[in-house]
Amino acid sequence: MSRIIRSSRTVQQQEKQVEIQLRNLFKADFDGVESNQNTAFSKEEIYAERDRILSSAASEIESQKQEFEQYRQEQLDILEQLKKMWEEEKLVLEQNAYEQGFQLGYEEGIKKAHVDMADSLAVANKVIEDSRLIAQDYIQEQEQVILELAMTASERIIGASLERDDEVFLSIVKRGLKEAREMKEIKIYVSPIYHHLITQHRSELVEMFPTDVPLLVFVDEDLNQTESYIETNHGRIVVSIDEQLSELRLKLSEILDSKE
């Protein structure tokens, strides 16, 4: 070919207990808990940042998809131009061979042109396929980077908020108790660092249940600082910041999967 167009763009189940997973506890519903205006990260800021992270992740993934689609289309256009060039050159070869009267030379020229064109098309197709695979790998790598950045930001925001506002942890426990409103016995297990907070607000928590439902608060020294769980007569409800972060990671993963 006389012309070449290139485009480069780069539980296990415990005895007589049922594990109940608490979903979407870290939600903007604090059941009457007043906002602390002196808190470095307010609850509204936490959820606004979470929504921004989710939106940013979705937008970035969509942008990467669009860039790849544009690049793929450019490669297809190149292939189409190569085909068009072949048709034009074939006509020239046919005309020249006919005019010169060299039938043998004409046939050999046509065969050689066919071979050259087949080689060019094979190269073009391989370039397109290689580019597609490279772009796909790049997009997947960027998706994982976005996911890890979002999780790191969320962990820092939630951790900083807990350090400055104990009400955040209390609100999470309240949401867990909502899942146990039909139970006949409630036992809350928390780490030593939050035992005083929950005990201090026990009367407020008791009001969430009928008067005949006992509500007890215990310390479990084996728990991490932000871990807690609620034992009921029907099983256990896990209430922890880790659970909330796992829920956020799941939602981000669902966004990535939905874009594939």
- Distance CA(190)–CA(222), nearest Å, equals 9
Residue entry with tokens 């065969």: 111
Strand order in the sheet with 227-232: 19-20, 235-240, 227-232, 186-190, 215-219
Q: 187 by DSSP, 3-state: which?
A: strand
Whole-number pLDDT of residue 259: 57
Q: Which pTM was predicted? A: 0.40
Q: Considering its fold, how many domains does the chain have in total?
A: 1
- The angle subtended at Cα 224 by Cα 147 and Cα 36, nearest 5°, is 75
Whole-number pLDDT of residue 154: 54
Residue entry with tokens 């426990």: 173
CATH of the domain at 242: 3.30.2320.30
Residue 229 · residue 239 · CB < 8 Å: yes
**How many Cβ atoms sit within 10 Å of the Cβ of residue 53?**
20
Is 142 inside any structural domain? yes
- Distance CA(52)–CA(89), nearest Å, equals 55
Is 208 inside any structural domain? yes
225, HSE (Cβ side, Cα atoms, 13 Å) = 5
One-letter amino acid at 188 equals I
**How many Cβ atoms sit within 10 Å of the Cβ of residue 198?**
21
- The angle subtended at Cα 154 by Cα 149 and Cα 159, nearest 5°, is 130
**How many Cβ atoms sit within 10 Å of the Cβ of residue 189?**
20
Q: Which domain holds residue 192?
A: 19-30+38-258
Helices 43-100 and 167-178, axial angle in degrees (round to 10): 80
Is 10 inside any structural domain? no
**pLDDT per position in the chain (260 positions), as tens?**
444 444 444 434 444 444 444 444 444 444 444 444 444 567 677 777 777 877 777 787 788 778 878 877 887 888 788 778 878 877 777 777 666 655 555 566 667 767 777 777 777 777 777 767 766 665 666 566 555 555 555 555 455 455 555 677 788 888 888 888 888 889 999 989 888 888 998 999 999 888 888 999 999 998 887 788 889 888 888 877 666 667 666 766 666 666 55
Is 203 inside any structural domain? yes
Is 1 inside any structural domain? no
To 10 degrees, the CA torsion angle through 236, 241, 242, 244? Answer: 90
Is 12 inside any structural domain? no
Burial class (CB in 10 A: 0-12, 13-18, 19+), 34: exposed
**Cα torsion angle, 215, 221, 222, 223, sign:** positive
Is 5 inside any structural domain? no
Whole-number pLDDT of residue 219: 92
Is 113 inside any structural domain? yes
